[in-house]
Amino acid sequence: MAPEYSSMVNWVKVVWLSFAPPKVEAFVWRILHGRIPVKAELSKRGVLLSSDNSCFLCNNAPETVKHLFFSCNISWQIWATLGNYWGISLVLHQNPMSFFLAWPQLLSNSAHDHMWLLIPYAVIWSIWLHRNEIAFQNKHLDTRQLLFIVKMRAAWWYKAKKSDTSLSLESIFSDPSIASCLDKYNFNNSARCSWKPPPRGFLKFNVDGACDKTGKCGIGGLLRNHLGSILLEFSKGAGSGSSVLAEILAIKYAIESFIKSEWFSSSNLIIESDSKVVVDWISSPSSSNSTFSKLVQELNVYITSECWQLRHIHRSQNIRANTLAKRGIG
């Protein structure tokens, strides 16, 4: 790597993105610093005993970092095939640093596209492992298998990072760009549905309930003013039950906390929950499930007698309360 890059590059934004496993990011960092033991480098250092320094993949050119990962016709087939999923005809920079700086610019909104940004890591790591299998295990080149591994590895990493995604491993593998479409959709909706502060004179209590697979529940919430400052916050366990019960208990605990607070007598209250079912039940107790009717009626009396507002909101507006609820599970 040219020495002038070292002082100019923000490595956190170029390499350490936490999209790929740490060892893979470390490997990419070594590539950008020219510290990969390809044949050309070993030959320069007098380590390679054989005079043959040709690429293990194509056997048509010296095995340099630039050639192996970017200009080798085998590697190029992998890059080109993946680009086609996004409808992009790639022209790759053969300088590793130039490549990594340019990659995010090839796709609009790539800063929020997890799949697009992890693709280079999946390609480069898979090429290196396949190359080593040929070099040290006498394995034959299999371009189709290499592409299969790249796509599967990218799908695994994406699913590991986004465990709550609705996409199956098979659908991501069959067309990686599907994950990009989902990321773009979620980002656009999140931008439109971000938390909004209450008007002056009001306080807003965002609440949420959560349960794990064993039925263990947690509740969480935070009270904020018109400036977005946090006045109260809670995160605690709520025993065992259903997610609906947890949502109801979260609202109940928020109301009780507010009544005991110094702001009860001087501020109007807005309560927000991302559970439409629970908000509808409390607003109209006659529509609720009989199991929860007594508790729902109690909360309705609290809210209507104080002229408070209870609102249903999108989950993206309730992220902090959701985090507190999950933390409360323990």
In order of their start, the domains of the chain are: 3-191 (no CATH), 202-329 (3.30.420.10)
d(CA 304, CA 315): 25
Residues of the chain with pLDDT under 70: 1-13, 48-51, 108-112, 166, 182-193
The answer to whether the beta carbons of residues 172 and 179 sit under 8 Å apart is yes
**The two structure tokens encoding residue 191:** 């931008």
Nearest partner of 167 among 188, 181, 153, 149, judged by Cα: 181
**The two structure tokens encoding residue 315:** 């989950």
d(CA 152, CA 173): 6
Instruction: Looking at the chain, list the stretches that DSSP marks H as alpha helix, in order from N- to C-terminal side.
Output: 3-8, 11-14, 22-32, 39-44, 65-66, 73-85, 96-102, 114-137, 143-161, 169-174, 177-192, 243-260, 276-283, 293-305, 319-329
Virtual CA dihedral for 78, 84, 89, 93, nearest 10 degrees? -30
Total length of the chain: 330
The answer to whether the beta carbons of residues 277 and 310 sit under 8 Å apart is no
Three-state secondary-structure class, residue 269: strand
CA 151-154-157 angle, 5° bins: 150
d(CA 159, CA 173): 11
Q: In what order do the strands lie in the sheet with 202-211?
A: 230-240, 216-224, 202-211, 268-273, 309-312
* Confidence at residue 18, expressed as pLDDT on a 0 to 100 scale: 81
For 286, what's the count of Cα atoms within 13 Å in the CB-facing half-sphere? Answer: 0
d(CA 274, CA 317): 8
d(CA 176, CA 115): 7
Nearest partner of 315 among 247, 216, 227, 237, judged by Cα: 247
* Confidence at residue 165, expressed as pLDDT on a 0 to 100 scale: 74
The answer for 33, left when phi > 0, alpha when psi is -120 to 50, beta otherwise, is alpha
Q: Which residue has the tokens 């949502």?
A: 247
For 225, what's the count of Cα atoms within 13 Å in the CB-facing half-sphere? Answer: 10
Question: What's the pLDDT tens digit per position in 82-94?
Answer: 998 888 887 777 7
d(CA 207, CA 251): 6
Nearest partner of 151 among 129, 169, 167, judged by Cα: 169
Question: What's the pLDDT tens digit per position in 228-248?
Answer: 899 999 999 999 999 899 999
